[in-house]
Amino acid sequence: MKKTTFLAVFAGFMSTMPFVSDAAYPVYNPQQLARQGYVINTYPQQNVRYNGNGRYYQQPQMVGRTNITTQQMVAASAVNGRPMGTRVAATNPNRITGSLPRVGSSATNAGRQYYQSSDYDRLADSGLYVGLSAGYSTMIKGGMSADYAGEQNSFFAPGSFQESDFKHDSVIPLQISVGAAINSDVRVDFSYLRYSGLSYADTVQTFTGDGYVDASVSGGAITSNVTMLNVYYNIDSFTGNVMGGSLRPYVGAGVGMALNTIADYVVFDNTFYDETPDGLGPAYVDAGKLTAISDVFAYHNGGTMEQLAFQLEGGVTTSMNDGLKLDFFVRYANLGKVKTSGSIIVSQTEWLSDGAGGEYEAPYDSVFHYTNWQESGTLSSLDVGVRLRLEF
């Protein structure tokens, strides 16, 4: 009895399948279209082909009857209550074709942007590296001035002066770096940076007792040897790619110690100074007495001092073959103070009265030693340059 009931129910279910399928899929059901008066092509069963994937398909052959048109299909679907629309591409398809786009937080390009893998891998910093850079100092700021300017008898020592700008013909700072990439955006290195080619100006204003006169200067070369710890950060996530991703902008900062040295220098004053009372001349001075001074050479001892130094840098990085990268940068370096020892040794020619109204050059040079006459100044530089980095 149970088997009989089950067979009856199953036979009834199978007999209703064509009507159910007509309701569920009216657009694609040829039986329902035929009932509405449309003619459907038929294809002979002997042209069945096997496609190799476990399925069979029919090879269509036209039999001379009228084909159903697209307009008829649309009309039929509208009658069935399931209008057939035009197929369009999804606005945001799940399937991505072509090159992967750069990823942002929204369509307005906000948020962090990432390079495609081919560009990103080429520009990313990785592992250890060594670098060598050369630059050119486009501007040297600072100069030397007298630390004793506000003191009593401050310019009493011959060769002392108020101030002098730095002289520089060409300053080419050289830098050696050893560092490593922390991640794709941050790298850290330890560097040695050397500045040389600076000196005093050719002339300074030295004090005469009544005013200031020009005196020539020779020597006084200034060098700075700087060791720094530097941190660099790639900012292409904010600026976007530059030149199609071939350049990667970055900023950096460093802090360290500078060993600043100024070499000895000589101030030469060729002024002829009258030393007679009230300027009356040698005729009023006893024989053998001082009447004048000339050819004053003031030997200033240089000095060395350690100073806190820092630098700020910005630039772009591009990639070369075999793990080589080039950084084109602009750098501001503040190197702190440079200062003399304060020791001045003065050698001067003296003139003596001959007792007959004339004077003659003394057979000796007078030498004097002055201390605590320091000059100092702050040294900073704005550089442009290029750095070659080899990554391991």
| Cβ neighbours of residue 337 closer than 8 Å, sequence gap 6 or more | 260, 305, 307, 376, 377, 378, 379
Average pLDDT, the chain: 78
The C-alpha torsion from 38 through 44 and 45 to 50, rounded to 10°, is -100
Which pTM value belongs to this model? 0.64
Structure tokens given for 26:
């009216």
pLDDT at 323: 81
pLDDT at 5 over 70: no
Q: Rounded to the nearest 5°, which phi and psi values hold at 259?
A: -105, 100
CA distances from 194 to 136, 224, 376 (A): 12, 6, 20
Domain 117-391: which CATH class? mainly beta
CB 350 within 8 A of CB 290: yes
pLDDT at 28: 43
Burial class of residue 342 in the structure, from the number of CB atoms within 10 Å of its CB (0-12 exposed, 13-18 middle, 19+ buried): middle
- Tell which wins on pLDDT, 364 or 122: 364
Range in 180-184, 206-210, 240-244 the model is least confident about: 240-244
| Average pLDDT estimate for 351-359 | 90
| Average pLDDT estimate for 287-316 | 94
- Tell which wins on pLDDT, 63 or 198: 198
In 3D space, the residue among 227, 216, 226, 313 whose CA is nearest the CA of residue 265 turns out to be: 216
DSSP state of 277: G
CB 383 within 8 A of CB 330: yes
Classified as helix, coil or strand, 233 is strand
pLDDT at 26 over 70: no
- Vertex 284, ends 153 and 361: CA angle to 5°? 70
- Percentage of the chain surpassing pLDDT 70? 68
- Tell which wins on pLDDT, 335 or 88: 335
Binned at pLDDT 50, 70 and 90, residue 224 comes out as very high
Range in 32-36, 188-192, 216-220, 221-225 the model is least confident about: 32-36
User: DSSP letters of 73-136?
Assistant: HHHHHHHTT---PPP---SS-SS--SSPPPP-SSTT--S-----HHHHHHH---SEEEEEEEEE
Structure tokens given for 120:
């990103």
pLDDT at 328: 96
Amino acid symbol at 302? G
Task: Indicate the pairing of strand 143-146 with strand 203-207.
Answer: unpaired
Which regions of the chain does DSSP assign to beta strands (E)?
A: 48-50, 56-58, 128-141, 143-146, 163-168, 174-181, 186-200, 203-207, 212-219, 222-234, 248-262, 265-269, 273-274, 290-300, 303-319, 324-339, 344-353, 359-370, 375-391
| Average pLDDT estimate for 302-320 | 95
pLDDT at 136 over 60: yes
Residue 165 CA to residue 20 CA, distance in Å, equals 100
User: DSSP letters of 13-49?
Assistant: HHHHHHHHHHHH-STT-HHHHHHTT-------GGGEE
CA 36 to chain centre: 76
- Tell which wins on pLDDT, 105 or 311: 311
- Percentage of the chain surpassing pLDDT 90? 40
Domain ranges of the chain: 1-41+66-84, 117-391
Residue 212 CA to residue 57 CA, distance in Å, equals 110
| Average pLDDT estimate for 36-53 | 50
pLDDT at 20: 45
| Average pLDDT estimate for 154-162 | 85
pLDDT at 78: 60
pLDDT at 198 over 80: yes
Q: For 125, how many CA atoms within 13 A lie in the half-sphere containing its CB?
A: 28
Range ranked top by mean pLDDT from 67-81, 84-98, 319-333: 319-333
Residue 148 CA to residue 342 CA, distance in Å, equals 10
